C-alpha cells in the first residue's frame, strides 16, 4: 500500500485486507523480520481504518463549525457597522465611550494639492491616449453624411470596365 493513494482507496484496501486476513491466514506470518499473528495484523489494519474514519468525522464537524462561524460573522458584520454608526452619532468618535466599544475614529488622509494636480494631468493624458469620452462628449459628436449620389447623373464608362477585367495577369507556374 503506497501513500500516494487517496484516503478512500486506502480505507477500502485496508477493509479488504482485514477481511482476507480473517478468511485466509491461519498461522503466524513473518514480515520484514517481524512475526505477526493473523489477529495482530487484522487489528493493525482495523486501527488504520478507525483512525481514518475518525478524521473524516472530525473533518465534517470542523466544516460545519466553519460554516456556522462564517454565517455568524456575516450577520455580526452588519450589526457591528450599525452599532458603530449609532455609538458615533450618540457620543461622537472622539469620546471615551466610543473607544470603550473598541471602535477607532475614521482616519482621513490628506492628499497634497500637487499630488492631486499630477493625478488629474495623468488622468487627462490617459483619456486622450485611449480616446475615451464622457456621456456629454459623446452626445456632441454628430456624423456628417456625404450627399447622396444620383446614379442617373453620374457618367459611367461601361466599355472601360470589361477592359480592366481582361487585363488580368497570370504568373507562369514554376517547375523544379
Let me know if 101 is exposed, middle or buried by CB neighbors in 10 A (0-12, 13-18, 19+): middle
- CA separation for the pair 46, 11 (Å, rounded): 10
Instruction: Give me the sign of the Cα torsion angle 32, 35, 41, 47.
Output: negative
Percentage with pLDDT > 70 across the chain: 80
pLDDT of 79 > 80? The answer is yes
pLDDT in tens, 123-164: 999 888 888 888 888 888 777 766 666 556 555 555 555 554
- The residues pairing with 36 across neighbouring beta strands, listed in sequence order, are 29
Rg for the chain (alpha carbons), in Å? 42
How confident is the prediction for the chain on average, in pLDDT? 85
Cα dihedral value 136, 137, 139, 142, nearest 10? 160
- CA separation for the pair 38, 23 (Å, rounded): 10
Q: Any idea which of 1-15, 71-85, 120-134, 138-152 has the lowest mean pLDDT?
A: 138-152
pLDDT of 170 > 80? The answer is no
Amino acid at each position: 500500500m503506497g501513500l500516494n493513494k487517496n484516503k478512500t482507496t486506502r480505507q477500502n484496501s485496508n477493509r479488504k485486507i482485514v477481511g482476507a486476513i480473517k478468511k485466509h491466514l491461519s498461522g503466524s506470518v513473518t514480515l520484514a523480520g517481524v512475526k505477526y499473528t493473523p489477529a495482530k495484523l487484522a487489528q493493525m489494519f482495523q486501527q488504520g481504518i478507525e483512525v481514518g474514519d475518525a478524521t473524516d468525522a472530525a473533518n465534517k464537524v470542523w466544516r460545519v463549525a466553519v460554516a456556522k462561524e462564517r454565517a455568524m460573522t456575516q450577520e455580526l458584520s452588519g450589526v457591528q457597522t450599525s452599532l458603530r454608526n449609532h455609538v458615533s452619532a450618540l457620543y461622537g468618535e472622539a469620546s471615551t465611550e466610543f473607544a470603550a466599544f473598541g471602535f477607532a475614529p475614521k482616519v482621513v488622509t490628506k492628499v497634497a494639492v500637487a499630488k492631486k494636480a499630477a493625478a488629474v494631468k495623468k488622468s487627462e493624458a490617459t483619456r486622450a491616449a485611449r480616446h475615451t469620452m464622457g456621456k456629454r462628449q459623446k452626445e456632441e459628436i454628430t456624423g456628417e453624411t456625404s450627399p447622396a449620389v444620383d446614379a442617373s447623373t453620374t457618367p459611367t464608362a461601361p466599355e472601360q470596365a470589361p477592359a480592366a477585367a481582361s487585363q488580368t495577369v497570370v504568373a507562369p507556374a514554376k517547375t523544379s
